[in-house]
Amino acid sequence: METELSKRLGIEHAIFGFTPFPAVAAAISRAGGMGVLGAVRYSDADELARSLDWMEENTGGRPYGLDVVMPAKKVEGVSEADIEAMIPEGHREYVRQVLAKHGVPELGPDDVSGWRITGWMEQVARNQLDVAFDYPIKLLANALGSPPADVIARAHEHDVLVAALAGSARHAGHHKDAGIDIVVAQGYEAGGHTGEIASMVLVPEVVSAVEGIPVLAAGGIGTGEQVAAGLALGAQGVWLGSVWLTTTQAELPSQVLIDKLLAAGSGDTVRSRALTGKPARQLRTEWTDAWEDPAGPGTLPMPLQGLLVADAVSRIQKYETEPLLGTPVGQIVGQMNSERSVQAVFDDLTRGFERAVDRINRIAGRA
């Protein structure tokens, strides 16, 4: 599973693995792929530095990258407190009602909300980059389109390639104009924030739109056969996220959530604004259903929704409230049926890729 891009980055397989867990990212790199650590949960730059120190010690000298969330346009003079003040009291009351209906206890006096939206704010991302560029990262990915021009220039000064996600050919064209090095064509099937176009349609459209720039196929990919399909569509690699959630190195908050993922089918996800205010694919739960209820107040725009539900998400996770407990995940969840190590996932990807190539060679009369 080697391409021009993988050779350029010094990785054995053109597999780029996004994950919020350092242990998973390091294992992906050790297995011959590119582990990409998600930085959005690191509101404390020192905590990110500790995780990158750990990555340095546990990647075996293999390349790795970082994924940040940074808007291309900057909004000056807006603090988290300013944003909090914009949240209507009716929405706060609705959250209280949903949690009370399911008997979710309050957080204790010493508990800290584990999930905050501050990682989506530009200054937090810039603080993360101040730390990251002190480490030998090889890739900087941005989940909100092209990062600001000065960030792209700074990355290039450090010989770091910049990747940006795109949900349409039009978005991909903007990335090319901005000087992005790699475009991640993320289809509708993906976990987290997605657009409206499925991967089978999106990938070749993006490849055509950014001719000359490497494209990674993303969305609903979790088998070697799907990796082969992505490369056949013109991509130079694949971007996998959801499939790592049920690996033994992942640090999901509870076994209850892991069991829900293992039991879920490909039809058990939904694109919902319940978590961040933008459509994000996640497990369908009574929490996502509550935000679709016509009797409710509806979701708020990003970043208000994320701040509104941050404490609620922490309470649901801490007390393992099964009907409400979910996570961003793509439609590939239907094939995530067992807990495996990251290396075992790579072994399966390699075998599936070889099967697909052999099948095509037989069809073409080459075998």
Per-residue confidence in pLDDT tens, the chain, 367 aa: 899 999 999 999 999 999 999 999 999 999 999 999 999 888 888 999 999 999 999 999 999 999 998 765 555 556 667 878 899 999 999 999 999 999 999 988 877 665 555 445 677 888 899 999 999 999 999 987 888 999 999 999 999 999 999 999 999 999 999 999 999 999 999 999 999 999 999 999 999 999 999 999 999 999 999 999 999 999 999 999 999 999 999 999 899 999 999 999 999 999 999 998 989 999 999 999 999 999 999 999 887 898 899 999 999 999 999 999 999 999 999 999 999 999 999 999 999 999 999 999 999 998 7
pLDDT of residue 265: 97
**17 alpha-carbon distance from chain centroid:** 9
* Single-letter code of the amino acid located at 84: E
Distance CA 296, CA 91 (A): 9
Distance CA 50, CA 36 (A): 16
Q: Percentages helix, strand, coil for the chain, rounded to the nearest 5?
A: 45, 15, 40
Read off the tokens for 62.
Answer: 């293999």
Residues 6+ apart with CB under 8 A from 254: 317, 320, 325
* Cβ atoms within 10 Å of 249's Cβ, excluding its own: 18
pTM of the complete model: 0.93
Q: Could you give the 3-state DSSP secondary structure of residue 115? A: coil
**From edge to edge, which strands make up the β-sheet containing 192-193?**
192-193, 280-283, 269-272
Q: Are 59 and 51 in contact (CB under 8 A)?
A: no
* Single-letter code of the amino acid located at 27: A
pLDDT of residue 64: 98
**319 alpha-carbon distance from chain centroid:** 25
User: What spatial distance separates the first Cα and last Cα of the chain, rounded to whole Å?
Assistant: 19
